[in-house]
């Protein structure tokens, strides 16, 4: 039996993927579970496994192409099996568009369509009529089937449960305007009930819109070049633009004397066997402890409410080839320095190898970004929503400091916290930083 190889949805936010490499060629034998290709999602590079056995009969999507989730990318079948019907199915599928061949396709084209559907479709309520007869508006920009609403791009038909249809018809709600929460965006009863309860604008997040990537400065030694953004770059752009737009940032900076913390680290490392505690580990430990004492910072703005988090999950910003990712150190407040050191080393290593599982980089409650190793004195970081704050850590360096009228040399570090003002006010943020400073300057207190 022929098996389709499709662009699988490998993370909840993944809408399209880029085919990096076919691991085998047409005609090669395949066993179930073999790795046949590598794809790039918005978060990581991942392997595609064969769901059936046979021979790779046809490569439908070539290396380098970007296609929406669900697209047929190859066919595995017996050597003599007829795969024509599968192939013609794929050709008829308008969704297969390789990014490289798409001339300047704007981001908006992939956004969920919000085209209204004529009333007939929304109010079909004859018993057996069902989905099939729900002819509806044409959908001209059918590039990607929108997953968010129940509206299917190719046919314009609305996917909705019978109960939802009847309820919507009675309440006078157009199904095409509601977001569907069922499989594949199917509109279910709860969606109609929600729409009745809150007649809000359709859909959830608005289209990400064009992200302003500024032109490189016109220097004669450089040349103009347009480089297609990687999936990760697109995700970064979308996430960070979402943040700085609606999230009212403000920034607080404090200077910390790191002398004692560094001494403690040397002493611990002299005794440690098989692992090494870094400055960053001490920072993670204290940041987590300070969050426990200032839970307002370990929170999120949630539609007219503040969601305080019952756990401290620290995002660690890690620079990787071509972007950045923030693996999450779970329950950092409950872990000792040794465990933090071992776990963060493992997470960072796998982040760089792009081998993190989705659950390992989602759902942080607070983040730490350290650019000290790049020689940065101090900087401000962009909050990763829905977190309410992020700590930007600069380089620790020797500096002249005036103490009791004398000039002495101290090892100092500057940290800047970006705060979401909807959740964290100046006083709260300052109190948090004061605690952080106090703990870093008196690291023995951590033992208590």
Partner 1 sequence: MSEWYNVVVIGAGPGGYVAAIRAAQLGLKTACVEANGYEGGLGGTCLNWGCIPAKALLESAALAQTVKSQGAEFGVRPIDVEYDMSAAVDRSRAISEKLTNGIGYLFKKNGVESVFGHGRLTAERDVVVDPTEPGGEARILDARHVIVATGAVMKTFPGFELDGEKVIGSREALELRELPQRMVVVGAGFVGVEFADVFSAFGVEVTVVEALDTLVPLEDPEIGKTLARSFKKRGMEIRTGAMVKALERASSPMVLTVESSKGEERIETDLVLMAVGRQPVTEGLGLEEAGVRVADGFILIDEYCRTSADTVYAVGDVAGQPMLAHKGSHEGIVAAEHIADANPHPVRYDNIPSVGYCHPEIASIGLSEPAAAEAGHEVKVGKFPLGAHGRALTAGHNEGFIKIVADAQYGEILGVHMIGHNVSELIAEAGVARMLEATLDEVAAHAHAHPSMAEAVMEAAFVTLGRAIHI
CB of 307 to partner 1, least distance (A): 16
- When asked if residue 115 is in the footprint of partner 1 (CB under 8 A), the reply is no
- When asked if residue 259 is in the footprint of partner 1 (CB under 8 A), the reply is no
- When asked if residue 401 is in the footprint of partner 1 (CB under 8 A), the reply is no
- When asked if residue 184 is in the footprint of partner 1 (CB under 8 A), the reply is no
| Residue 51 vs 371, nearer CB to partner 1 | 51
CB of 163 to partner 1, least distance (A): 4
- When asked if residue 208 is in the footprint of partner 1 (CB under 8 A), the reply is no
- When asked if residue 385 is in the footprint of partner 1 (CB under 8 A), the reply is no
- When asked if residue 370 is in the footprint of partner 1 (CB under 8 A), the reply is no
- When asked if residue 193 is in the footprint of partner 1 (CB under 8 A), the reply is no
| Residue 186 vs 421, nearer CB to partner 1 | 186
Interface with partner 1 (CB under 8 A), residue total 23
* Among the residue ranges 54-62, 232-240, 353-361, 418-426, the one whose residues contact partner 1 (CB under 8 A): 353-361
- When asked if residue 130 is in the footprint of partner 1 (CB under 8 A), the reply is yes
- When asked if residue 260 is in the footprint of partner 1 (CB under 8 A), the reply is no
CB of 101 to partner 1, least distance (A): 30
- When asked if residue 344 is in the footprint of partner 1 (CB under 8 A), the reply is no
Q: What are the Cα distances from residue 215, in Å, to 222, 232, 282, 324, 367?
A: 12, 20, 39, 21, 29
Task: Give me the active site residues, please.
Answer: 421
* Among the residue ranges 155-163, 223-231, 278-286, 300-308, the one whose residues contact partner 1 (CB under 8 A): 155-163
Cis preceding-peptide flag for 386 (omega within 30 of 0): yes
* Among the residue ranges 157-165, 376-384, 387-395, 403-411, the one whose residues contact partner 1 (CB under 8 A): 157-165
List 193, 359, 425, 438, residue binding partner 1 (CB under 8 A): 359
- When asked if residue 209 is in the footprint of partner 1 (CB under 8 A), the reply is no
- When asked if residue 280 is in the footprint of partner 1 (CB under 8 A), the reply is no
- When asked if residue 9 is in the footprint of partner 1 (CB under 8 A), the reply is yes
List 12, 245, 375, 400, residue binding partner 1 (CB under 8 A): 12
List 98, 357, 371, 401, residue binding partner 1 (CB under 8 A): 357
CB of 166 to partner 1, least distance (A): 5
Q: What are the Cα distances from residue 120, in Å, to 133, 149, 173?
A: 10, 18, 12
* Among the residue ranges 125-133, 205-213, 281-289, 406-414, the one whose residues contact partner 1 (CB under 8 A): 125-133
- When asked if residue 239 is in the footprint of partner 1 (CB under 8 A), the reply is no
72 within 8 A of 89, measured Cβ to Cβ: yes
d(CA 271, CA 261): 16
- When asked if residue 3 is in the footprint of partner 1 (CB under 8 A), the reply is no
- When asked if residue 331 is in the footprint of partner 1 (CB under 8 A), the reply is yes
1 within 8 A of 76, measured Cβ to Cβ: no
| Residue 260 vs 338, nearer CB to partner 1 | 338
List 128, 200, 218, 448, residue binding partner 1 (CB under 8 A): 128
What is the 3-state secondary structure of the chain? CCEEEECCCCCCCCCEEEEEEECCCCCCEECCCCEEEEEECCCCEEEEECCCCEEEEEECCCCCCEEECCCEEEEEECCCCCCHHHHHHHHHCCCCCCHHHCCCCCHHHHCCCCCCCCHHHHHCCCCCCCCCCCCCCCCCCCCCCCCCECECCCCCCECECHHHHHHHHHHCCCHHHCECCCHHHCECHHHHHHHHHCCCCCCCCCCCCCCCCCCCCCCCCCCCCCCCCCHHHHHHHHHHHHHHCCCCEEEEEEEEECHHHHHHHHHHHHHCCCCCCCHHHHHHHHHHHHHHHCHHHCEEECCCCEEECCCCCEEECEEECCEEECCEECCHHHCCHHHHHHHHHHHHHHHHCCCCCHHHCCCCCEEEEECHHHCCCCCCCCCCCCCCEEEEECCCEEEEEEECCEEEEEEEEEEEEEEECCCCCHHHHHHHHHHHHHHHHCHHHHHC
List 239, 260, 293, 330, residue binding partner 1 (CB under 8 A): 330
The residues binding partner 1 (CB under 8 A) are 9, 11-12, 127-128, 130, 161-164, 166-167, 170, 183, 188-189, 311, 330-331, 357-359, 362
């Amino acid at each position: 039996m022929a098996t389709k190889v499709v662009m699988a949805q490998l993370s909840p936010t993944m809408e399209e993927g880029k085919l990096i490499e076919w691991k085998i060629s047409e005609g090669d034998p395949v066993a179930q579970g073999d790795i046949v290709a590598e794809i790039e999602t918005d978060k990581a590079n991942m392997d595609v496994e064969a769901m059936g056995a046979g021979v790779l009969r046809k490569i439908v999507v070539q290396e380098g192409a970007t296609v929406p989730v669900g697209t047929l990318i190859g066919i595995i079948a017996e050597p003599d099996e007829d795969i024509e019907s599968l192939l013609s199915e794929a050709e008829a599928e308008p969704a297969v568009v390789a990014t490289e061949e798409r001339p300047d396709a704007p981001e908006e084209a992939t956004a969920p369509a919000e085209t209204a559907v004529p009333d007939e479709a929304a109010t079909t309520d004859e018993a057996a009529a069902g989905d099939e007869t729900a002819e509806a508006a044409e959908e001209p920009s059918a590039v990607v089937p929108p997953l968010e609403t129940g509206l299917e791009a190719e046919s314009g038909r609305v996917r909705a449960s019978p109960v939802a249809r009847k309820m919507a018809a009675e309440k006078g709600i157009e199904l095409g305007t509601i977001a569907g929460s069922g499989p594949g965006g199917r509109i279910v009863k709860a969606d109609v009930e929600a729409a009745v309860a809150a007649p809000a604008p359709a859909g959830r997040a608005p289209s990400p819109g064009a992200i302003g990537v500024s032109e490189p400065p016109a220097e004669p030694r450089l040349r103009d070049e347009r480089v297609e953004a990687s999936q990760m770059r697109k995700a970064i752009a979308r996430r960070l633009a979402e943040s700085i737009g609606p999230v009212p940032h403000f920034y607080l900076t404090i200077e910390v004397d790191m002398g004692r913390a560094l001494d403690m680290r040397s002493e611990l490392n002299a005794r440690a066997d098989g692992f090494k505690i870094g400055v960053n580990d001490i920072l993670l430990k204290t940041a987590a402890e300070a969050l426990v004492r200032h839970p307002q910072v370990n929170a999120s703005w949630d539609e007219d409410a503040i969601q305080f988090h019952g756990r401290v999950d620290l995002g660690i910003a890690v620079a990787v080839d071509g972007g950045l990712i923030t693996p999450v150190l779970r329950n950092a407040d409950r872990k000792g320095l040794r465990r933090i050191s071992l776990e963060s080393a493992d997470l960072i290593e796998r982040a760089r190898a792009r081998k993190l599982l989705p659950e390992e980089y989602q759902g942080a409650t607070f983040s730490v970004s350290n650019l000290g190793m790049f020689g940065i004195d101090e900087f401000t970081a962009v909050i990763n929503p829905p977190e309410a704050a992020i700590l930007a850590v600069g380089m620790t360096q020797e500096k002249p400091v005036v103490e009791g009228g004398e000039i002495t040399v101290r090892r100092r570090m500057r940290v800047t916290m970006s705060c979401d003002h909807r959740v964290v006010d100046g006083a709260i943020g300052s109190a948090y930083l004061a605690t952080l400073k106090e703990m870093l300057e008196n690291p023995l207190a951590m033992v208590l």
